[in-house]
Amino acid sequence: MSKILITGGAGFIGLHLAEYLLGRGCSVDLIDNFSRGKQDKQLKTLTNDKNVRLITVDILKPNSMDDLDSDYDYIYHLAAIIGVQNVVDRPYNVLRDNIMMLTAVIDFAKENENLKRLMFASTSEVYAGTLKHFTLPIPTPETTPLALTDLDYPRTSYMLSKIYGEALCHHSGLPFTNFRPHNIYGPRMGMAHVIPELLKKAYKTDGDFLPVFSVSHKRTFCYVDDAVSMLSIAAEDERCKNETINVGSLEGEISIEELAKEIISAVGKDLKIYPQQDTAGSPSRRCPDMTKTVQLTGYKAKISLEEGIRRTFEWYKPNVFEK
> Which residue from 97, 98, 38, 31 is spatially nearest to 65, judged by alpha carbons?
31
DSSP 103-150: HHHHHHHTT-TT--EEEEE--GGGGHHHHHHSPPPSSBPTTSPP-PPP
Q: Active site residue: 127, 158, 203, 223, which one? A: 158
Which amino acid appears at position 236 of this protein?
A: E
Based on the residue annotation, tell me whether 158 is a catalytic residue of this protein. yes
In sequence order, the 6+-apart residues with CB closer than 8 A to the CB of 246 are 124, 140, 141, 142, 179, 180, 182, 288, 289, 290, 292, 293
Instruction: Please check whether residue 292 is in contact with residue 246, taking contact to mean a CB–CB distance below 8 angstroms.
Output: yes
CA torsion sign, 261 to 265 to 188 to 26? negative
Residue 151 has phi, psi (to 5 degrees) of: -65, -25
Pairing of strands 218-219, 254-255: antiparallel
User: How many Å apart are CA 257 and CA 170, to the nearest integer?
Assistant: 39
Distances in Å between the Cα of 213 and the Cα atoms of 168, 230, 255, 279 are 36, 31, 11, 6
Q: Indicate which residues carry an active-site annotation.
A: 158
